[in-house]
Amino acid sequence: MTYSTQQIKDSIIQKLRLNYGCTEQQASDGEVLKACAMVLRDIMAERGVTSRQKAEAEGQRKVHYLSLEFLMGRSLMKNAYNLDLLPQLRSAIEELGFDAGRIFDTEPDAGLGNGGLGRLAACYLDSMTTLEIPATGYSICYELGLFRQKIVEGQQVELPDDWMPLGDAWLMPKPQEAEEVHFGGKIRTRWDNNHLMVVHEDYTRVLAVPCDMEVAGYGTEHVNTLRLWDAKSPKPIDMTLFSQGQYLRSGEERAMADVISKVLYPEDNHYEGKSLRLKQQYFFVSATVQSITRRHIQTYGTLKNFHEKNVIQINDTHPALVVPELMRILIDDAGLSWDEAWHITTNSVAYTNHTVLAEALECWPQQLMEDLLPRVWQILTEIARRYQERIEAYYNNDLAKIAKMAVIWDGGVHMANLCIAGGMAVNGVSALHSDILRNDVFRNQCAMEPEKFKNVTNGVDHRRWLSQINAPLDTLLKETVGEGYLTDASLMKGLEKYADDAAVLKRIGEIKQANKEAFARWAKRQQGVVLNTDGIFDVQVKRLHEYKRQLLNALHIINLYQQLRDNPNMDFRPHTFLFGAKAAPGYAVAKRIIRMINALATQINNDPVCKDRLQVVFLENYRVSMAEMLMPASEVSQQISTAGKEASGTGNMKFMMNGALTVGTLDGANVEMHEVLGDENMFLFGLHADEVANLRPNYDPQMFYNRDPMLRNTVDMLKHGIGGENFEDLWRSLVMRDEYMLLADLPSYAAAEQRMVETYGDREKWNRMSLLNIARSGIFSADRSIADYANTIWHVPYRK
Ligand code: 26Q
């Protein structure tokens, strides 16, 4: 079933009339955008009904993907692409007298996520749908997504991301499917007919209203749903209080409910025990589990076969409360025994870990849990008690081990331990990361239940991150390996046949140059900067975090700058360094680093010695839609985390499939990139994960600082001043502590960059490396990741 340009155009006109009471001549860009969204939404809504009916009729096992974040970005072009309507939609918009590119550009990013973990969830929704797996994503309908970033006088300033006015065009509120979530109150038990009844009283009710966003797959009529829960108070106002004249208090309960879905927490890889965050987690978990079990009972009349027909995949520990919440519903509402309920729960829940950073591991204060979620707390204590019995028996009361494995210990609830105890699988997100989980972070649990521990290496939606955003490369791939690569990314390998084809290599170079120029035009429009497109586009874009080592990149740039200053006539290949990064608003060091990079940019870009040679640009407000412009234009991908710290990385994959070469450490998925590329097709440097671990106990940054004058000179510029500002704080933390071992890696990093620059001089060689990177990036398609989940964890069939 397809639609002609005329049909799409007529539908848009109709939507404009019905919803905005205007003609196409009167409509604004925003109204046209929303009308287009509604036209596609109608098509998807209809197919969604059919997809769900089919899954029910065939009794298929469903996947429920729970994540506090879905970083969806824009949807208009994506949905049109997947529905195979992009050309028709473009012509329809143009025929209505609008600029299609501008309409697409009007759509705000749905920024309901921080970074990697949130974007991964979005890519996986696409692949699950394309592979025709009946799947639903669940999250919170945040009114405000991740903050917008402005750079004011070199510093990050956060602005609210009010995406709803235009972004809500994709959402379908379903008030009739609302669920009620209970907070606080007291628990009373009473015997009823030989049954111990649990009664929860005096709780505060919050209504969870689903706002569904349909998701189209590519090359299929299958449609899945992203269900976003909106928090509302069930009563508009407390009339009793109001009548007593307590006007402010009468609206308090409503305000407490509304605030739950107000804003996304902007912390990435960092846990803070805030009660509102716990409310968000339970709100979303409880609504989701109620909704899943309700539908299951509607279909099967019982929850006894729940685990056969459902799998709940949790994106890190943030939704870990599904374990006690599912137990609660099975026991209190469905009347099952503890053992029956535990069997069902431990055969439906699977946990993905995304970080080994200690500061990111969730550990909630017992008192907070107890007060906020009294019934869940009771169930948690029983889960913890039974699990502890088991580990005590297994490890002969070895206290050191038990302290690390316990679900509740020393007044804290350890969410990762809860997930391991209550789940059927635990997976890391790259081979290295999964090994670290097995051999280090969770080694005691792994010794006890080795079969639970799996690996699923991350992947990205290669249709969005290559085909859709890099049209000339997509064309080249279609000409060389054929259209089939869109649904079978392994076919990209076929491009290798052209590794010695001078014409193809030249074309790869030309595509990159054209994309660089397109990005430069965009950056000029957006931010007013003039990029030197003759320079190597050397890019580091990701959240700002010390372990990701943006500071290492900056130190190397300082080093280059000093060389230029000392020797203005040196041979210097033009080099354009691009940064994009948001810092968590409360992360002071990260904000200092942003300020330093901006100061460095100011000094370098204004120094005549750097003119047309060295340029540094901090791109403001890095986000999905910026990445879509930037990936195709990038030549060098910076993936330089301290080895062992970056669980996987996914930006690395997006760069690779767009032909950028990686300068990186053997960390996360870089290890698997290296396996397919070899030393000769990437620029590796630095300590390996095991070396980092071995060096850590006696690491002394001063040793590196004292023995290497060049390094000392570079680092000292922080102290002496950059762009007229002093960064002695950063200097001190490097020389005194250097938690992430920048000084140990800086010399080998500089050497890797130098090898990269030399290689760049040989254009044909570079383009061949670029071609091999593209050709071998197929394993990083999210389709492959989802097939892995389906085969090894979910045990569900999928379209091959
Ligand atoms: C937790 C508690 C309270 C508030 C916030 C949080 C929180 C929020 C977001 C903790 C962590 C995150 C995000 C983590 C994240 O994005 N991790 C990244 O996941 C990617 C996908 O697997 C990996 O590729 C990256 O290596 C990893 O850093």
Tokens of 82: 């997947």
Per-residue b/e over 666-700, b at no fewer than 16 CB within 10 Å? Answer: bbbbbbbbbebbeeebbbbbbbbbeebeeeeeebe
Query: What percent of the chain stands above pLDDT 90?
Result: 96
DSSP class per residue in 235-289: SSS-HHHHHTT-HHHHTHHHHHHHHHTTB----SS-----HHHHHHHHHHHHHHH
> pLDDT (tens digit, 9 = 90+) per residue, 521-562?
999 999 999 999 999 999 999 999 999 999 999 999 999 999
Binned at pLDDT 50, 70 and 90, residue 460 comes out as: very high
Residue 245 pLDDT greater than 90, yes or no: no
Q: Which of 41, 433, 543, 556 is catalytic?
A: 543
C-alpha distances in Å from residue 515, one per residue of 273, 316, 473, 519, 528: 44, 36, 10, 6, 18
The predicted pLDDT at position 200 comes to 97
Q: Which atom of ligand 1 is nearest to the CA of 273?
A: 3
Average pLDDT, stretch 340-361? 98
Nearest CA to 134 out of 321, 281, 284, 295 is that of: 295
Residue 197, SS3 per DSSP: strand
What is the radius of gyration, based on Cα positions, of the chain? 27
Average pLDDT, stretch 266-277? 94
Average pLDDT, stretch 632-658? 99
Residue 243 pLDDT greater than 90, yes or no: no
506 is catalytic: no
Going by alpha carbons, the residue nearest to atom 6 of ligand 1 is 271
Determine the Cα–Cα distance for residues 615 and 573; give it in Å rounded to an integer. 11
Stronger pLDDT, 234 or 135, i.e. the higher one:
135
Tokens of 793: 């964890």
Tokens of 275: 């009660």
Going by alpha carbons, the residue nearest to atom 10 of ligand 1 is 269
Q: Which residue has the tokens 């080592």?
A: 549
User: 354 alpha carbon to ligand 1 midpoint, in Å?
Assistant: 6
The predicted pLDDT at position 461 comes to 98
240 is catalytic: no
Determine the Cα–Cα distance for residues 256 and 272; give it in Å rounded to an integer. 20
> pLDDT (tens digit, 9 = 90+) per residue, 494-506?
999 999 999 999 9
Determine the Cα–Cα distance for residues 445 and 428; give it in Å rounded to an integer. 14
User: 783 alpha carbon to ligand 1 midpoint, in Å?
Assistant: 21
Q: Which of 227, 542, 556, 575 is catalytic?
A: 542
The predicted pLDDT at position 240 comes to 85
Q: Which residue has the tokens 């929704």?
A: 125
User: Cα 699 from chain centroid?
Assistant: 32
User: Which amino acid is present at 47?
Assistant: R
279 is catalytic: no
Binned at pLDDT 50, 70 and 90, residue 255 comes out as: confident
The DSSP letter of residue 134 is -
Taking the CA atoms of residue 431, residue 551, residue 110 and residue 35 in that order, the dihedral angle to the nearest 10 degrees is -120
Binned at pLDDT 50, 70 and 90, residue 21 comes out as: very high
Check: CB of residue 777 under 8 Å from CB of residue 766: no
Going by alpha carbons, the residue nearest to atom 19 of ligand 1 is 117
Q: Which helix (H) or strand (E) holds 359?
A: none
> pLDDT (tens digit, 9 = 90+) per residue, 34-82?
999 999 999 999 999 999 999 999 999 999 999 999 999 999 999 999 9
3-state helix, strand, coil in the chain (%, to 5): 55, 15, 30
Binned at pLDDT 50, 70 and 90, residue 328 comes out as: very high
Relative to beta strand 310-315, strand 62-66 is: parallel
Determine the Cα–Cα distance for residues 784 and 689; give it in Å rounded to an integer. 26
Binned at pLDDT 50, 70 and 90, residue 254 comes out as: confident
Which of the listed residues 268, 317, 356, 655 should we mutate to test ligand 1's pocket, taking the one with most ligand atoms within 8 A of CB? 268
> pLDDT (tens digit, 9 = 90+) per residue, 684-733?
999 999 999 999 999 999 999 999 999 999 999 999 999 999 999 999 99
User: 782 alpha carbon to ligand 1 midpoint, in Å?
Assistant: 18
**Roughly how many angstroms between the first and final C-alpha of the chain, as a whole number?**
22
Q: Which of 222, 654, 776, 784 is catalytic?
A: 654
Ligand 1-lining residues (CB < 6 angstroms): 114-117, 120, 265, 267-269, 271-272, 277, 318, 354-355, 360, 362, 429, 458, 646-650, 668
Determine the Cα–Cα distance for residues 733 and 730; give it in Å rounded to an integer. 5
User: 647 alpha carbon to ligand 1 midpoint, in Å?
Assistant: 9
Residue 97 pLDDT greater than 90, yes or no: yes
Residue 252 pLDDT greater than 80, yes or no: no
The predicted pLDDT at position 195 comes to 80
Relative to beta strand 195-201, strand 155-159 is: unpaired
Q: Which atom of ligand 1 is nearest to the CA of 274?
A: 3
Which of the listed residues 112, 285, 316 should we mutate to test ligand 1's pocket, taking the one with most ligand atoms within 8 A of CB? 316
Binned at pLDDT 50, 70 and 90, residue 242 comes out as: confident
Check: CB of residue 138 under 8 Å from CB of residue 284: yes
Average predicted confidence (pLDDT) for the chain: 97
Determine the Cα–Cα distance for residues 31 and 20; give it in Å rounded to an integer. 7
Query: What percent of the chain stands above pLDDT 70?
Result: 100
792 is catalytic: no
Binned at pLDDT 50, 70 and 90, residue 22 comes out as: very high
Q: How many CB atoms within 10 Å of residue 723?
A: 17
Q: Which atom of ligand 1 is nearest to the CA of 113?
A: 9
Q: Which of 548, 575, 592, 613 is catalytic?
A: 548
Residue 640 pLDDT greater than 90, yes or no: yes
Average pLDDT, stretch 300-326? 98
Residue 250 pLDDT greater than 80, yes or no: no
User: 268 alpha carbon to ligand 1 midpoint, in Å?
Assistant: 5
pTM for the model stands at: 0.98
